[in-house]
Chain A
Amino acid sequence: MAEIAYWEAIRRAHDEEMARDPMVIAMGEDIGVAGGTYKATAGLYDKYGESRIIDCPISENSYTGIGIGASMAGMRPVIEIMSINFALLALDTIVNAAAKIRYMSGGQIACPIVMRTPGGTAHQLAAQHSARLARMFMSTSGLRVVTPRGPLDAYGMLKSAIRSNDPVIIIEHEQMYNLKEEIPDEEFFRPLEGAEVIREGTDITLIGYNYSVHLCLEAAKRLEADGVSAEVIDLRSLKPIDRETIRESVEKTHKVVVAEEDEAPVGVGSEIITGIMEDCFFALDSQPVRVHAADVPVPYNYKLEKAAIPNADDVYHGALKALGKI
């Protein structure tokens, strides 16, 4: 076991998979000579060369499309989109091509691409660099959408994503690239499906994904000090969603909070809570609570930005509301 950062975990997964399979390539802006904005491919250009670590011009839709085309002929491209905001430019090839080709072709052609992109707010990056957008991809049939919360999943899920035969969107987070965690030295895999109970509790269920998992964990600690035992679930996969793990937890705790960094309308919280209503409505003792961003484009000003984005305190207060304490 060694403690490594999130970006190092991604780099290690790339390195191992590229060494194993010559069909694995990486594509993106500044990932080669420049070493990658988040260092996720640092040093790999020297090791694998320009034909496998491909520096792309700023043409998100078409280099993603080129990756998809290559995957249709048996390659395994890992595409880095520098910010999920820029993924909007590639929506046509992701949603209209990658997600639909297997189906439209009657199962003849797979598109085993991986698209990695950070989706979340960082520090005063303003409206056009702070989108989260998980909700946009999780609503598309034919895609897998996963959200590794730390180095263990960042490594293990990227390896699984490269080997799976489906198009996989991995949503990372600018504030998590330096997050550290101990992970095994030997090779391992983490499956793309399945939510995970990462803290057991009996009084309330806090549900997060991506960065909001950490807000839930922090809120759980504060609740513990109040004598409340909070269970924390990391969704891990937003498409498909593991409703069974959520149901089991809610049937135990009878109260639930969903924490999402995105705006609320038509979002992760709406989807999760609808699932709870359908699966275990009568297990609830109080109304479910959504903790979410303000419904505004993310502002630049530091105080406004902080006010727009949920933090651990907001999750804590959401829990108090579900517990009937406020």
Chain B
Amino acid sequence: MKDADKKRLLREMIFFRRFEDRTFEAYMERKIGGFLHLYSGQEAVATGVLEMANVGQGDKNDYVITGYRDHVHAIKTGAPAREVMAELYGKETGSSKGRGGSMHIFDASQNFMGGYALVGQPFPLAAGLALACKHKGTKQIAICFLGDGANNQGTFHETMNMASIWNLPVLFVCENNGYAIGTHIDRSTAQLDQYKRVDTAYNMKSSQHEGMDIENVLPAAKAAIDYVRNEQKPYFIEFMTYRFRGHSMSDAKGYRSKEEEAEWEKRDPIKIFSKKLIDAGVVTAKDIKAMEKEIDNEIENDIIKFAEEGPEPRIEDLNKYVLDDNPDPRWIGPLQK
């Protein structure tokens, strides 16, 4: 990978961290409502995996789908960050026109097929997107990001089975952060290594990787994506990671120790990659400071401004988008009497 790309990836990860931190502030100011689940700590996974996928190219993109911790996945797939922020603000200019909120970011123009609040629901949807790719013969694949907690849903088992028997081009990315909401994995899950739950059980290729160092994520993701695209078969890839914040904003993190958090913070993906790039002479500490300043400027003067200034949806449009708003009367009616 070229130095310029490494530098860009570091900038992206810092941007994602700052973006999430800024949503935290806006939430405390009550400018953002509902539930808010932040991605801080796990940046190396989405950034690294999607760097190796086809993203940012509009309808040529691979299909990406995830759970409710979805802001970063959406932006890295190609959704404009200002539209994601405007969605959190509930604005008409938001990614989902203010109808979805934090947990339901969509950008169909970039094949970002949504964030979902039902844990495990995206498994079959992802397999269906992959089925469509295979059917059309486009060589696109579907990429599904979910946490370890999702793997205890029935949809996990049902979908792994069908993805395998039908050879669907779907990459399941398990972001194993060790917690299903507030329950530690060793209290909720019989098999702690998630990748082992699909290999013999569903005859699917799988692997496990350290997920805090993006330089571990990138080659592992590339191999998995190449396999899915070229072999037209599913792959399950597990990254060991950690979320620095609570499950959502209402989470006081009473279920984990300060010592554990401190241990993982030493493995902060941004610190790891910053140090590596400084040591290799790709960037200097001063460059990173400048980068941070530039990012904060962008967030404040472009992204937050766009979100603040955007119009609210009109009450008159409450009933739009429930069903097709311009249906063909031949199929829908009314019935001719």
Interface residues of A (CB under 8 A from B): 23, 25, 51, 54, 56-57, 59, 61-75, 92-93, 96-97, 101-110, 141-142, 144, 159-161, 163-166, 189-197, 236, 242
Contacts and interface: CB of A to CB of B under 8 A. Distances in A.
Contacts of B106: 104-106, 108-109
Given A56-B162, A102-B323, A164-B327, A242 B128 contact: no
A195 B337 CA distance: 10
10 contacts: A61-B155, A66-B162, A68-B124, A70-B135, A96-B118, A142-B323, A165-B327, A166-B323, A166-B324, A195-B335
Contacts of B114: 101, 104-105, 109
Given A70-B128, A96-B121, A104 B99 contact: yes
Contacts of A104: 96, 99-100, 104, 106, 114
B99 A164 contact: no
B155 A72 contact: no
Given A73-B128, A160-B331, A62 B113 contact: no
Interface string B293-337: 000000000000000000000000000111111011111111101
Given A57-B161, A106-B96, A144-B323, A236 B335 contact: yes
B133 interface: yes
A241 to B, nearest CB: 12
B195 interface: no
Contact of B128 (A23, A67, A103, A108): A67
Interface of B: 63, 65, 94-100, 104, 106-109, 113-114, 116, 118, 121, 123-133, 135-136, 142, 154-155, 158-159, 161-162, 165-166, 320-325, 327-335, 337
A193 B123 contact: no
Contacts of A71: 128
Contact of A105 (B99, B320, B325, B329): B99
Contact of A97 (B96, B125, B321, B337): B125
Contacts of A161: 331
Q: SS class of chain B's interface: helix, strand, loop or mixed? A: mixed
B135 A75 contact: yes
Contact of B131 (A69, A93, A105, A107): A69
A68 B107 CA distance: 17
Given A70-B129, A74-B136, A109-B113, 19 more contacts: A69-B113, A69-B124, A69-B131, A101-B114, A104-B106, A104-B114, A105-B108, A108-B109, A109-B114, A141-B322, A144-B323, A160-B332, A163-B331, A165-B324, A191-B329, A192-B331, A192-B333, A196-B335, A242-B334
Contacts of A110: 324
4 nearest A-B residue pairs (beta carbon): A69-B128, A65-B124, A194-B335, A106-B97
Q: Which of A25, A160, A165 has the largest count of B CB atoms less than 10 A from its CB?
A: A165
Contacts of A159: 331
A164 B158 CA distance: 28
A211 to B, nearest CB: 20
Nearest to A248: B337
Given A63-B124, A109-B114, A191-B335, A70 B131 contact: yes
Contacts of A165: 324, 327
B327 A72 contact: no
Contacts of A25: 135
A240 to B, nearest CB: 9
A189 B331 contact: yes
Given A57-B158, A61-B154, A68 B125 contact: yes
Nearest to A72: B113
A319 to B, nearest CB: 24
Contacts of A144: 323
A191 to B, nearest CB: 3
A102 B143 CA distance: 21
Contacts of A190: 335
A78 B325 CA distance: 22
A107 B330 contact: no
Nearest to A167: B323
Given A51-B135, A56-B162, A59-B161, A108 B96 contact: yes
A161 B327 CA distance: 12
Contacts of B328: 163-164
Q: Which of A57, A65, A191, A192 has the largest count of B CB atoms less than 10 A from its CB?
A: A65
B325 A107 contact: yes
Contacts of A68: 124-125, 128
Given A62-B123, A65-B121, A105-B100, A73 B158 contact: no
A75 B126 CA distance: 14
B99 to A, nearest CB: 5
A107 B321 contact: yes
Q: Which of A69, A73, A75, A107 has the largest count of B CB atoms less than 10 A from its CB?
A: A69
Contacts of B334: 191, 193-194, 242
B146 to A, nearest CB: 13
A90 to B, nearest CB: 10
A69 B132 contact: yes
Nearest to B334: A194
B57 to A, nearest CB: 16
A70 B63 CA distance: 11
A112 B98 CA distance: 23
A145 to B, nearest CB: 12
Given A70-B131, A93-B121, A164-B324, A106 B162 contact: no
Given A66-B162, A108-B108, A102 B131 contact: no
Nearest to B131: A70
A103 B321 contact: yes
B150 to A, nearest CB: 13
B158 A160 contact: no
Contacts of B159: 62, 65-66
